[in-house]
Amino acid sequence: EAGVAQSPRYKIIEKRQSVAFWCNPISGHATLYWYQQILGQGPKLLIQFQNNGVVDDSQLPKDRFSAERLKGVDSTLKIQPAKLEDSAVYLCASSTYRVGYTFGSGTRLTVV
């Protein structure tokens, strides 16, 4: 089966600019997650979707981050405006149940 697809692989932007990441989960996976992984740390959950509804966004900085999952399939994560501390790898994952949890390759964001 195809894996979780993410794009772009890399992105460099200046602070205060905006950026968007895209994720296409594994077909049939109802649950989609966005994680932020800062260098030297483990991934931290930003937001979890069940189909097109938000299950948990308690750790999403809502003043600058937004995410949507239209039609319960693809998802986009946006940062506007970006700050230097947003430099990280943004991982998308999808699952049907814990055994089916699969990560994408991530987008490395550098904010300069």
Residues that bind another protein (CB under 8 A): 31, 33, 40-45, 48, 55-56, 89, 91, 93, 95, 98-99, 101, 103-106, 108
Closest C-alpha among 43, 25, 26 to residue 35: 43
Nearest distance in Å: CB 19, another protein: 17
Interatomic CA distance for residues 75 and 90, integer angstroms: 13
Q: How far is the CB of 109 from another protein (least distance, A)?
A: 12
Cβ-based nearer residue to another protein, 19 or 33 = 33
Instruction: Work out how close the CB of 65 gets to another protein at its nearest, in angstroms, rounded to a whole number.
Output: 17
List residues bridging with 45 in a β-sheet.
Answer: 35
- What is the closest distance, in whole angstroms, from the C-beta atom of residue 16 to another protein in the complex? 26
> Which residue's CB is nearer to another protein, number 81 or number 101?
101
Q: Give the containing element (helix H, strand E) for 76.
A: strand 75-79
Contacts of 62 (CB under 8 A, 6+ apart): none
